[in-house]
Each structure stands twice: as structure tokens, then as C-alpha cells.
Chain A
Amino acid sequence: MASGLAVLATILVIAPLVAIFIDLVYKGASSLNLNFFTKLPAPVGENGGGMANAIVGSAVLLTLASAIGVPIGIAAGIYLSEYGRGTKLSNVVRFTADVLNGVPSIVMGIAVYALIVVPEKSFSAFAGGVVLGIMMVPTVARTTEEMLLMVPHSIREAALGLGVPAWRSVLSITLRTAMPGVITGCMLAFARVAGETAPLLFTALGNDFWSTSLRQPIEALPLQIYVYALGAYDEWHRLAWAGSLVLIALIVVSVSLVRYVTTRGVLKGAA
């Protein structure tokens, strides 16, 4: 009876996921064609547009976000694992990172709006990239720390024993040994912010036209999905499903990679 309940719960949980996937693939794949990747959105009411500008926009935003979030996050992770291990400061940093992870993304969006959009008097791709980058920091920092902690201490000793300076040893030996894990951690953070909509509403804003300028508003895939999902046209709904499928494909690939690397062979031979 109790086991039955647990099994039932599991089925109830898996059911929506399966439903979401089936709907996504079914409705998304039927609208996915070359136009989706190459065309701009069609004028309202016309068929046949695409999301090329949103894909490019997301690429711009995510590049900027990674350029901010990955180095700061990795450096913070290095501090936590290599320098601050066991100290009060690093415990507080770690705790703050975890708490920051739980701050709603819309709040981040509003804060960056106040920080960048208000003084600049313009929505911009830059503001969008900054907010996504900030959101990556805690995740990248914590996964980097965890991966570095898995590197055996003897490897660090070997490097220090050769008279290698500490900074060089951290970068070329410890970080390099943990690299597969660190990269997947970054991909996880990347996948997470790739689907973020709320923080972009008042920073990147969205843009129906081509734009790669950091000082102009820019379109992003999740923003476009949001607008199209709430729109009144079937064509828009089709595109929203197609966009979601592309987004999910990106995320599934990253999550699978993360899982592959963390369950086997992260540090092959190092243990």
C-alpha cells in the first residue's frame, strides 16, 4: 500500500514531464523549418516568419553573460576551494552564493534596470547580458568549488614540490585536472540563464528587428516565446512551440553532458 503510494507519486510526477516533452516535440517539430532559423518575424497576421533575430540576440546576450559570469564564478570557486577552505569568510561566501541562487530572477532584472537602464535612459543588450551574467556567478562558483575539491591533494603537492608558483599550480594543475567538471558546471549555469525571461523584460526588452548592438534593445528566444504565447495568432503559437523546442534541446544536451561527466570519468585516473 505504502509502496503503491510512492510508485503512484512517481508516476504523477513523471506524467507532466512526459506530457510537456510530447507536446513540445509534437507541436514544436511541426513548425520547425529553415525559416525559423533564418527569417525575421513576419508582420502581424502574415505566415512564414522566423526567430532568427531572437536566436542571434540570445547568442549575444549569452556571450556577454558568460564573459561576465564564467571568469568571476570560476575565480570565486578557486578562492573557496584553494585559498579559503575552512575559513569563516569562505563559509559566509558559500552561504551567500546559495542564498543568491534563490533570489527571484525578476528581482535581479529590476535591480539591473535601476542600475543600468535608468542612468543610460535606454533598454540595452548590455543590461540584459549583465543581469544574466550576475545570475551565473553563484552557480559557476559553487560547481567550480565542488569540482576542485575532487582533485586529490597529492596532485597539488606534486606541483608545489616542483617549485611551481601557487597561481600557476592552481591554474595549470588543479583547475586543469578539474576542467571537464568545471566546464559542465558552466554549461549548467549557461543552460539555466538561457531560458530566463523575467530578468530580460526590463533590460534587453526585446526587438522585432535585427540588432547586435550592445547599446540597443535586443530580442531573446525566451522573450519571443513569451510574447508569442500570449499573442492571438495561431502562427505565433506555432513559433512559440518551435522556439521552446530549440531552447529545451539546448538545455537537455547540457544537462545530459553534466550528468555524464559528473557520474563517470570526471577525473579519470586522478583518484
Chain B
Amino acid sequence: MGVSIEVNNLNAWYGTNHTLQDITLHIPANEATALIGPSGCGKSTFVRCLNRMHETNPIAKVTGEVRVGGLDIYSETSAVEVRRRIGMVFQRPNPFPTMSIYDNVASGLRLNGYRNRRTLDEVVERSLKQSALWDEVKDELKKKSGASLSGGQQQRLCIARALAVDPEVLLMDEPASALDPVSTAKIEDLIFQLKSQYTIVIVTHNMQQAARVAERTGFFLNGRLVEFDSTHKIFTNPGDKRTEDYITGRFG
């Protein structure tokens, strides 16, 4: 089951570049929330702040408060523990090239020290079924390398890998931007299936995608959150002129 995310006065920097300015919003549990905006608007930085991946860059800096399920992830826990609770799917599929399909899915558990073989088998099967990849790969789970799958399959493998640790939140940073339309449709279907069980935050540059999968949408511009509301409201009756300009394609 997912948990809600509470963000208060979040600021982020890359070196001297102030990439996020005073972001405050509430992402409800067990829903899909889409973040849209032109490239460089800070939406990717924002999701990377939600699981403390932002700080893996040595020149990055964050201030403010992010509460995931009530816990302040910056002051009350460690980055490693936060990331175990929050799954992340990246823009480009990044399966571990030296590992089989099975090992890829099991990696989050194994690399954190989990050893029980039977549970691992079950988790791998469940995760691959959840990511709709099971039927395509079940015969060569341990034989085939994760890197030998097609791009769309690789991305679903990465989703399965993220789901295997049973996260409370799933962050997706433009998960379909490197994929063909058919694979994209599959990923979108998947998000639909998964959002009843997980809180999903999806960054996308594709407005139709946001409209199709998300209950709520936030519009970012120049490092600020311009508007955050129900997807329906954002796309039919935006409260801000800049949002309207963006979704009608007048810029960006």
C-alpha cells in the first residue's frame, strides 16, 4: 500500500544553479500524480529529491522538508533507507548488464542482504507479473541477460525490479520517453494497474500521457511549481495563464 508525500518549502541547487524554488505540495497516497513542464523546468530534479537521489551528485544541495508517510526523509532517516521504501524507474532502461532477468528483479533484495530462496522466487514471479513481463520471459528467467531484452521489455524489467522491494512509492522519471508507441502504451497500462497499490509520481513531457494516467497533475516552470490540481482541472480549466499557454502548446 502506498503512502502520501508531503513537501514543504523544498529548494534544490546544482552548484550555483537554483533549480527548485520553494516547492510545497501534497501528493496523496495510492494515486498517480503527473509532473509536466518544459525541459529544464525542474520536474526531474523534484522527483530525484523525493528519494534523495539528487544528492548523489556532489555539487547538488537541498533544503526544505519532504515527508514520506509522515517521516521526514532528510532529517529522520538515511538516504539508503529512504530509497528502499521508494522505487525509482529512470528515463532510459538500465538493467544490470551482467545479470540474468531473475537476478535483475531479485537484485534489490539480494544486494540488501536477503537470502531466502523460496521467497525470492515468489517475489520475482509476482513482480514480473505485476509488470506484465512474466509471460514473455518466464522460460528463460535465469538464462537470458537483462540487457538482451528489447527496450520496452527492459523498462518493464526495471519496473519489476523496483516493485520487487515492495516500495510504498514509485517514482518514474519519463519512463516511456525512450520507447516506441506500443511499449509506451504498455507502460501506461501498467501504471493504471499499479496505482491502486502504490503512490505513483510520474514525470512526463507528454501531456496526453499525464492526462491518460494521472489523477493529479503539477505544472513546473523555471524551477517553480506553477499549478497543482486534479488532472481534469489542469487540462480543462487551468487556473494560471502560464499553464494554459503550456498545455495549449503556445510555448515549450
With an 8 A cutoff between CB atoms, is A10 at the interface? no
- Please, how many angstroms separate the alpha-carbon atoms of A160 and B84 in the complex? 9
- Please, how many angstroms separate the alpha-carbon atoms of A86 and B57 in the complex? 12
Interface centre among A152, A163, A177, A269 (most CB of B within 10 A): A163
- Please, how many angstroms separate the alpha-carbon atoms of A162 and B51 in the complex? 10
One of A86, A160, A173, A176 near B53 (C-beta < 8 A): A160
B112 touches A269 (CB 8 A): no
- Please, how many angstroms separate the alpha-carbon atoms of A269 and B151 in the complex? 12
Main secondary structure of the interface of A (DSSP, over half): helix
With an 8 A cutoff between CB atoms, is B150 at the interface? no
Name the segment of B4-12, B22-30, B75-83, B215-223 touching the other chain: B75-83
With an 8 A cutoff between CB atoms, is B94 at the interface? yes
B56 touches A160 (CB 8 A): yes
One of A160, A162, A166, A270 near B97 (C-beta < 8 A): A270
List of A residues within 8 angstroms of B88 by Cβ = 161
- Please, how many angstroms separate the alpha-carbon atoms of A162 and B96 in the complex? 12
A154 touches B97 (CB 8 A): no
One of A157, A169, A176 near B94 (C-beta < 8 A): A157
With an 8 A cutoff between CB atoms, is A164 at the interface? yes
Interface residues of A in 165-198 (CB under 8 A from B): 165-166, 168-169, 172-173, 176-177, 179
Chain A positions 43 through 76: 1 when the CB is less than 8 Å from some CB of chain B, otherwise 0 = 0000000000000000000000000000000000
One of A162, A165, A169, A172 near B161 (C-beta < 8 A): A162
A163 touches B97 (CB 8 A): no
A269 touches B53 (CB 8 A): no
Interface residues of B in 83-110 (CB under 8 A from A): 83-85, 87-88, 90, 92, 94-98, 107-108
With an 8 A cutoff between CB atoms, is A155 at the interface? yes
B96 touches A163 (CB 8 A): no
List of A residues within 8 angstroms of B84 by Cβ = 162-163
With an 8 A cutoff between CB atoms, is A267 at the interface? yes
B145 touches A269 (CB 8 A): yes
List of B residues within 8 angstroms of A172 by Cβ = 111
B53 touches A161 (CB 8 A): yes
List of B residues within 8 angstroms of A154 by Cβ = 90, 92, 94
A177 touches B97 (CB 8 A): yes
With an 8 A cutoff between CB atoms, is B148 at the interface? yes
- Please, how many angstroms separate the alpha-carbon atoms of A117 and B56 in the complex? 47
- Please, how many angstroms separate the alpha-carbon atoms of A8 and B87 in the complex? 62
List of A residues within 8 angstroms of B90 by Cβ = 154, 157-158, 161
With an 8 A cutoff between CB atoms, is A159 at the interface? yes
B98 touches A177 (CB 8 A): yes
Within the complex, the shortest CB–CB distance from B3 to chain A, in Å, comes to 16
With an 8 A cutoff between CB atoms, is A88 at the interface? no
Chain B positions 145 through 165: 1 when the CB is less than 8 Å from some CB of chain A, otherwise 0 = 101100000000010011001
Chain A positions 141 through 159: 1 when the CB is less than 8 Å from some CB of chain B, otherwise 0 = 0000000000010110111
- Please, how many angstroms separate the alpha-carbon atoms of A165 and B56 in the complex? 12
B96 touches A177 (CB 8 A): yes
A157 touches B56 (CB 8 A): yes
Within the complex, the shortest CB–CB distance from B238 to chain A, in Å, comes to 32
With an 8 A cutoff between CB atoms, is A268 at the interface? yes
List of B residues within 8 angstroms of A86 by Cβ = 58
Within the complex, the shortest CB–CB distance from B140 to chain A, in Å, comes to 15
Nearest CB to that of B171 among chain A residues? Answer: A161
Within the complex, the shortest CB–CB distance from B164 to chain A, in Å, comes to 9
List of B residues within 8 angstroms of A179 by Cβ = 98
Within the complex, the shortest CB–CB distance from A139 to chain B, in Å, comes to 24
List of B residues within 8 angstroms of A159 by Cβ = 96, 107, 111
A161 touches B111 (CB 8 A): no
Interface centre among A152, A160, A161 (most CB of B within 10 A): A161
Q: A157-B56, A157-B90, A163-B165 are in contact. Are A169 and B147 (CB under 8 A)?
A: no
List of A residues within 8 angstroms of B158 by Cβ = 158
- Please, how many angstroms separate the alpha-carbon atoms of A169 and B108 in the complex? 10
A163 touches B148 (CB 8 A): no
B94 touches A269 (CB 8 A): no
B83 touches A176 (CB 8 A): no
A158 touches B96 (CB 8 A): yes
One of B56, B82, B108, B147 near A164 (C-beta < 8 A): B108
List of B residues within 8 angstroms of A164 by Cβ = 80, 107-108, 111-112
List of A residues within 8 angstroms of B148 by Cβ = 269
- 26 A–B pairs (Cβ distance < 8 Å), ordered by A: A154-B90, A154-B92, A158-B90, A158-B161, A159-B96, A160-B53, A160-B83, A161-B51, A161-B83, A161-B87, A161-B90, A162-B83, A162-B84, A162-B161, A163-B85, A163-B165, A164-B80, A164-B111, A164-B112, A169-B111, A173-B111, A176-B98, A267-B97, A268-B147, A269-B147, A270-B98
